[in-house]
Homo-oligomer: A and B are copies of this chain.
Amino acid sequence: MTDFCKLVNMPENDKQGLSVVTCTAPVNIAVIKYWGKRDEDLILPINSSLSVTLHQDQLKTTTTVACSRNFQQDRIWLNGKEEDINNPRLQSCLQEIRRFSRKRRNTGDSTSDASSVSHKVHICSVNNFPTAAGLASSASGYACLVYTLSQLFGVESEQLSAVARQGSGSACRSLYGGFVQWKLGTQLDGKDSLAEQVESESYWPELRVLILVVSAEQKSVGSTSGMHTSVETSQLLKYRADVVVPSRMEEMIRVIRERDFPAFGELTMKDSNQFHAICLDTYPPIFYLNNMSHRIISLVHRYNQYYGETRVAYTFDAGPNAVIYTLQDHLPEFVQVVRHFFPPEVNGEEFVKGLTVCSADLSEELKRDINMEPTPKGIRYIISTKAGPGPCVVKDPNHHLLGADGLPKKSAISH
């Protein structure tokens, strides 16, 4: 494990008995997709999955949790707005963390403030990425919540996977950096359905990630209800889970360890396509890809075809935005290809956000061979990033999202 920024274990405890901890957690993008639960209460999946944790410099959730004997009730603010604390999944996470904390305290294991676990908490959480980016904020959100609570209440990191999973399945994968698998497990109680790191973020430094944010059209079916309907109705899903994914998991771990980009890219694309195929085989069918997604898919295949090798790979979650994996060497040209075939609005917002991408020239031959009609403004912007570490504790108290009064600071609301 490389939770290198897990530097403090003790929450601050000020004079008014207010304990405050702030942490950040990353987004993850699956390359072997999670789709379908075998247990809806415990959130146990029907297949293992594997993801890349994205760097928090570009995409992260920040969460502050404060507890105090003076708080009357648990409260939560998300992106500046108070939300219902009685959300069942949120309640699951709170209860589970408190249960683990009490258990640890009772066995005399805890180094944390023994009384805090009985106090009410105030939770304040913000994302540094817009909802429009179409990134599932539930994974980084629940990972950050659970991680922050664990710091406050002194819960061991081995337990967090099971707790985060009950907030949002894929949240358990956001508890680690780099390449992370969420093992299906076999136990009925889900105790062995846990995330673990396959390789750290430093293992394959040349790997780069682009998020292509397309112009959204209509709201899609949420992933929770979508995967429920798939399990109920798709005849192909069971075959995918039982037969296809087990061998793909093995292959994916192998090609990551070998840093074999062509194999990694091809398998990533195939698994994204199969996930969307399952959505279509669901009744009524679910469509997450739109015409713009189809064009991006087509562009990637034509680009790879031109070079006769897989240099760039796409994957799509429950929405039309593409996540592109490529290697550093091919990044500048591919970004230029995207710019050419999806010309951005002139004087519009910055087209490439995040990690700097060098400029590149495109050969006329490449443009001609790709042979696609450009689609102006088809892509709103690109976020350029790479693999990154797992959750971090934020030491600087100026970054707490909750003030000394236990309420959101103005800066947390304006986010």
A273 in contact with B269 (CB, 8 Å):
no
Closest B residue to A270 by beta carbon equals: B283
Interface bin, chain A? 20 to 34
Alpha-carbon distance A276/B281, docked complex (angstroms): 8
Task: Tell me which residues from 256 to 290 in chain A have a Cβ below 8 Å from any Cβ of chain B.
Answer: 266, 269-270, 273-274, 276-278, 280-285, 287, 289-290
Residues of B within 8 A of A244 (CB): 235-236
Q: Select which of B240, B269, B285 is within 8 A of A236 by beta carbon.
A: B240
Question: Would B277 and A280 count as touching, CB distance under 8 A?
Answer: yes
Is A307 on the interface with B (CB-CB < 8 A)? no
Copies held by the complex:
2
Establish whether residues A274 and B236, one from each chain, have CB atoms under 8 Å apart when the complex forms. Answer: yes
In this complex, what residue of B is CB-closest to A247?
B235
Chain B residues contacting A235 (CB-CB under 8 Å) are: 243-244, 274
Q: Give A277 to B276 CA distance when docked, in angstroms.
A: 8
Q: Which residues of B contact A243 (CB under 8 A)?
A: 235, 239
Given A236-B239, A291-B217, A273–B283 Cβ distance below 8 Å? yes
The smallest beta-carbon distance between A250 and chain B, in angstroms, is 15
At the interface, yes or no: A67 with Cβ under 8 Å from chain B? no
| Bound Cα distance A270, B236 (Å) | 12
User: Which residues from chain B contact A276 at a C-beta distance below 8 Å?
Assistant: 280
Query: Is A294 interfacial (CB-CB < 8 Å)?
Result: yes
Cβ proximity bits A226-266 to B, threshold 8 Å, 1 near / 0 not? 00000000011001100110000000000000000000001
Q: Is A301 an interface residue (CB 8 A)?
A: yes
A273–B235 CA distance with the chains assembled, in angstroms: 11
6 closest A-B pairs by beta carbon, nearest first, are A277-B281, A277-B280, A277-B277, A284-B301, A239-B239, A273-B285
Asked if A280 and B283 make an inter-chain contact with CB atoms under 8 angstroms apart, the answer reads no
Docked CA distance A281–B278 (Å): 9
Collect the chain B residues with CB atoms within 8 Å of residue A282's CB: 273
How many angstroms from the CA of A276 to the CA of B289 in the assembled complex? 13
Q: Are B301 and A294 in contact (CB under 8 A)?
A: no
A297 at the interface (CB under 8 A from B): yes
Complex Cα–Cα for A277 and B239 (A):
14
Complex CA distance for A298 and B281, rounded to whole angstroms:
14
Given contacts A280-B280, A287-B297, 13 further A-B contacts (CB under 8 A): A235-B243, A235-B274, A236-B244, A236-B277, A239-B243, A266-B283, A273-B280, A273-B282, A273-B285, A277-B280, A287-B289, A290-B291, A291-B291
Query: CB-nearest residue of chain B relative to A235?
Result: B244
CB contacts (< 8 Å) of A281 on chain B: these are: 273-274, 277
List the B residue with the shortest CB-CB distance to A300.
Answer: B284
Contacting residues of chain A (4-54) with chain B, CB-CB under 8 angstroms: none
Distance of A122 Cα from B287 Cα, bound (Å): 48
Cβ-defined partner of A284 (8 Å) among B236, B278, B297: B297
Q: List 7 interface pairs A-B (beta carbons < 8 Å), by A numbering.
A: A217-B291, A236-B274, A269-B284, A273-B282, A273-B283, A273-B285, A284-B297
Once the chains are docked, how many angstroms separate the CA of A331 from the CA of B194? 53
Q: Is the CB of A294 within 8 A of B287?
A: yes
Q: Which residue of B lies closest to A280 (CB)?
A: B277
Closest to A297 in B: B285
Nearest residue in B to A290 (C-beta to C-beta)?
A: B291
The distance in angstroms between the C-alpha atoms of A290 and B294, with both chains bound, is: 9
- Which residue of chain B lies nearest to A294 when distances are taken between CB atoms in the complex? B287
List, in ascending order, chain B residues with CB within 8 A of A277's CB.
236, 277-278, 280-281
The residue in A236, A244, A266, A294 that gathers the most chain B C-beta atoms within 10 A of its C-beta is A236
